[in-house]
Amino acid sequence: MQHVAGVVLCSLLATTRAGAQVLITGETGGAGGHAVMATANLLAPDDFDTLANFWGQYGYGLSSRVDVLVAYGNISVFGDTQHYVGAGSNIGLLKRGRQIVDVSFFNTVSVPMTRRDQASTVFVTLALVASRPMTLGSFAITPYGGFNTLMPIGERKCGIFTPVETLHTGIAGVTVPFGRAWSAYVEYSPGPGIRCGGFGILYVRPKQP
């Protein structure tokens, strides 16, 4: 349950700006779960320089199927940096107890705090993510995958930190727990017009006895 709660947190900021990273599995954390994540991503749009995106986020299990997320991040390119904040949720649609895999609907909204004239007014991410834990010998991992849509809304003529048009990417990642409360995530998200790679470290607060 602790691992599941943390997985939810991995999503918010990796996709909220120009990035296509989701960093989340199809599981939700469960009511009352708490987790914190830090991540780093590289975004490579076609015919553009590579952007570096760093963010941290907090997630809370609102119910057994809904996790809510808040985050802060910054993204840099051409020697300039933009700061942004975001919020979102991960909503469980299918559970592997009844179906073969866990499936969730991930959604976020972010707004720029600085350099607002160089990004869209609002940036929306919508993704369907499927995952299933598996064991390789004594080694536990959770592969995940899906599809992601990135939508700039409002002013977007000068898309330095966000794209000027809607983008679609795939999602391919894996999460590996280490220790009682920690997990590592690695993801690659390719799509027409952009390719993204990133990793994150997640801490899930152990439940009190």
What is the tens place of the pLDDT at every residue in 10-51?
A: 332 333 344 457 899 999 888 999 999 999 999 999 888 999
Decide: 146 and 121 in contact? Cβ < 8 Å: no
Of 30-34, 82-86, 101-105, 158-162, the poorest mean pLDDT is in 158-162
Euclidean distance between the first and the last CA atom of the chain, given in angstroms as a whole number: 14
pLDDT at 146 over 60: yes
pLDDT at 179 over 50: yes
**Token code pair at residue 69:** 């997320």
pLDDT at 59 over 90: yes
Mean pLDDT of 73-92: 95
- φ/ψ bin of 65: left (φ > 0), alpha (ψ from -120 to 50), beta (otherwise): alpha
pLDDT of residue 209: 54
pLDDT of residue 2: 34
Higher pLDDT, 29 or 192: 192
172 vs 85: CA distance, rounded Å: 25
Fold for 2-204, please state it: Lipocalin (2.40.128)
Mean pLDDT of 98-127: 93
pLDDT band at 122 (very low <50, low <70, confident <90, very high): very high
Please give the single-letter amino acid code of residue 184. A
How many Å separate Cα 104 from the centre of its chain? 12
Please give the single-letter amino acid code of residue 75. I
Q: How many CB atoms lie within 10 A of CB 49?
A: 10
pLDDT of residue 170: 96
pLDDT at 54 over 50: yes
Mean pLDDT of 142-158: 89
pLDDT at 113 over 90: yes
Most confident of 12-16, 147-151, 156-160: 147-151
Decide: 123 and 150 in contact? Cβ < 8 Å: yes
pLDDT of residue 111: 94
Of 6-10, 91-95, 200-204, the poorest mean pLDDT is in 6-10
